[in-house]
Amino acid sequence: MKLLGIRVWLVMLTVVLSACTATPKKDLALERVRDELNNLKSNTELAGYAPLALGEAERALRNAELATGDDLYRSYLVYMADRRIQIARTMAEREQHEQILDELESERSAMLIKASQMEADQARMEAERARLLVATTSEDAQRAREEKEAALRKEAEAARAAELSAEEAEQARRLAESRASEAEFARREADLASQQISSLTRQLENLQLRQTESGVVVTLGDVLFASGEAQLVEGGRSSLEEVVDLLQTEPDKKIRVEGHTDSLGDAAANLLLSEQRAQSVLEALVSLGVASERITATGMGEDFPIASNDDEEGRARNRRVDVILLDN
206 and 322 in a common domain: yes
pLDDT of residue 19: 45
For the chain, how many structural domains are there in total?
2
State how far the alpha carbon of 41 is from the alpha carbons of 32, 35, 55, 95, in Å. Answer: 14, 10, 10, 15
- Asked, for residue 33, whether it belongs to a domain, the answer is yes
- Asked, for residue 119, whether it belongs to a domain, the answer is no
pLDDT band at residue 135, thresholds of 50, 70 and 90? low
Last residue of a domain, one of 77, 108, 139: 108
- Asked, for residue 263, whether it belongs to a domain, the answer is yes
pLDDT of residue 24: 46
What H or E segment, with its residue span, contains residue 325? Answer: strand 320-326
Residue 43's SS3 state is coil
- Asked, for residue 322, whether it belongs to a domain, the answer is yes
- Asked, for residue 84, whether it belongs to a domain, the answer is yes
pLDDT of residue 296: 95
Judge whether 82 and 30 are in contact, CB under 8 Å. no
Exposed / middle / buried, residue 130 (Cβ in 10 Å: 0-12, 13-18, 19+): exposed
Last residue of a domain, one of 76, 108, 140: 108
- Asked, for residue 94, whether it belongs to a domain, the answer is yes
Concatenating the DSSP letter of every residue in 212-243 gives -SSEEEEEE-TTSB-TT--SBPTTHHHHHHHH
322 and 204 in a common domain: yes
Last residue of a domain, one of 108, 124, 153: 108
**37 CB neighbour count, 10 Å cutoff:** 21
Among candidate residues 217, 168, 191, 169, the one with its CA nearest the CA of residue 327: 217
Predicted confidence (pLDDT) per residue in 251-287, tens digit: 899 999 999 999 998 999 999 999 999 999 999 999 9
State how far the alpha carbon of 87 is from the alpha carbons of 97, 196, 254, 261, 266, in Å. Answer: 15, 152, 176, 178, 185
Mean pLDDT across the chain: 77
Between residues 260 and 141, the one the model is more confident about: 260
Between residues 38 and 7, the one the model is more confident about: 38
pLDDT band at residue 12, thresholds of 50, 70 and 90? very low
Average pLDDT over residues 146-163: 74
Domain housing 248: 200-326
Predicted confidence (pLDDT) per residue in 175-201, tens digit: 767 767 766 766 676 565 455 445 444
Reply yes or no on whether the pLDDT at 299 is more than 80: yes
Reply yes or no on whether the pLDDT at 174 is more than 50: yes
Between residues 233 and 136, the one the model is more confident about: 233
Among candidate residues 75, 96, 90, 73, the one with its CA nearest the CA of residue 33: 75
d(CA 62, CA 78): 9
- Asked, for residue 311, whether it belongs to a domain, the answer is yes
Predicted confidence (pLDDT) per residue in 105-116, tens digit: 777 777 778 767
Reply yes or no on whether the pLDDT at 94 is more than 80: yes
- This prediction has a pTM of 0.40
Predicted confidence (pLDDT) per residue in 210-247, tens digit: 888 888 888 888 778 888 888 888 878 888 888 888 88
Angle, helix 51-66 to helix 71-206, in steps of 10 degrees: 160
d(CA 106, CA 98): 12
